[in-house]
Amino acid sequence: MTEIPEHLRKRAEEAKAKAAAKKAADSGDAAPAAEAAPAAAAASPEPSAADSKIPAHLLERAKAARAKAAGGEAEAPAGGGAVATATAPAAPAQTGVPIAAGPGGHTQRLLTVVKSGSIQDVKASPQDKVHVWPHLLSIEFVAALLCLGFTVIFSIFVNAPLLELADINKTPNPSKAPWYFLGLQEMLTMFHPMVAGVLLPGIGMGGLMLAPYIDRNPSQKPEDRKFAISLFTIFMMACATLTIIGSFFRGPGQLFIFPWAEGLFFEL
């Protein structure tokens, strides 16, 4: 059960006593009403400023209002008729204590002060996440435009290293694919076309796509990303080794040769 503060309990008792006195005054019994108000005041002593948290000027204002109300109710007519008396608003008590007044002369009462921390959720921790659009995609779009512009300008001034027209009566030996496909062509000399052209490249691409979901370490330090660095190193070294062998160590008939002994059979 919630404990009621002492000053609120006393205020409720005084309100009940005033209501009883007013009811008795309306019924023509003025004398008991006059006696009930002092009795209620005696039964409910005023809390001192030292025992209560209410400011002193608010206590003085409450005393003046209760005295004014008790005096107006006690001045009932002696003839016994039920007469309704309207009391004018009490002037501020001349106690020397400043009384705060709001718009229209309404007095204000301070209940409590609420600290801002109890009703506001302040987030002091910074957020290190941003949205993909537009923060990331805008940068990637600008980078793609720069690459496209560089390629267009480079192609204007430098011609592609194309060979002469193909002759159906003469097949070059060795016949090699462009350099970026020589790794796959090198695997064709070792495995079945289904394995070298579909299975192994599919496993490699699938592993690269699953790597971000397997290694979810957010650190950017190389010593903390050993799994990702090892996987990428193996993939790059395998592609580089196969491309170098297919470019420089394959001669006529796709036979293995040493370029420093048999010559260089490679053209862009």
Is residue 227 scored above 50 in pLDDT?
A: yes
Which residues make Cβ contacts (< 8 Å) with residue 82, sequence separation at least 6?
Answer: 26, 27, 28
pLDDT band at 114 (very low <50, low <70, confident <90, very high): low
Is residue 132 scored above 90 in pLDDT?
A: no
Range with the poorest average pLDDT among 45-49, 168-172, 189-193, 260-264: 45-49
* Whole-Å CA distances, 178 to 159, 189, 243, 247, 268: 16, 16, 10, 9, 7
| The pLDDT value given to residue 220 | 83
The span from the CA of 213 to the CA of 26, in Å, is: 85
| The pLDDT value given to residue 113 | 59
| The pLDDT value given to residue 27 | 76
Residue found by looking up tokens 């404990």 in the block? 3
The mean of the pLDDT values for the chain is 76
| The pLDDT value given to residue 115 | 60
Is residue 239 scored above 60 in pLDDT?
A: yes
Higher pLDDT, 43 or 106: 106
| The pLDDT value given to residue 49 | 46
Higher pLDDT, 207 or 99: 207
Average pLDDT, integer, range 133-151: 94
Instruction: State pLDDT tens for residues 143-185.
Output: 999 999 999 999 999 988 777 888 888 888 888 888 889 999 9
pLDDT band at 129 (very low <50, low <70, confident <90, very high): confident
Instruction: State pLDDT tens for residues 15-72.
Output: 889 888 888 888 765 444 455 445 544 545 555 545 556 778 788 888 888 888 887 6
Return the ∠ at Cα 109 (arms to 103 and 111), rounded to 5°.
Answer: 135
Is residue 249 scored above 70 in pLDDT?
A: yes
Tokens encoding 125:
């921790």
Percent of all residues in the chain with a pLDDT value above 90, rounded to a whole number: 22
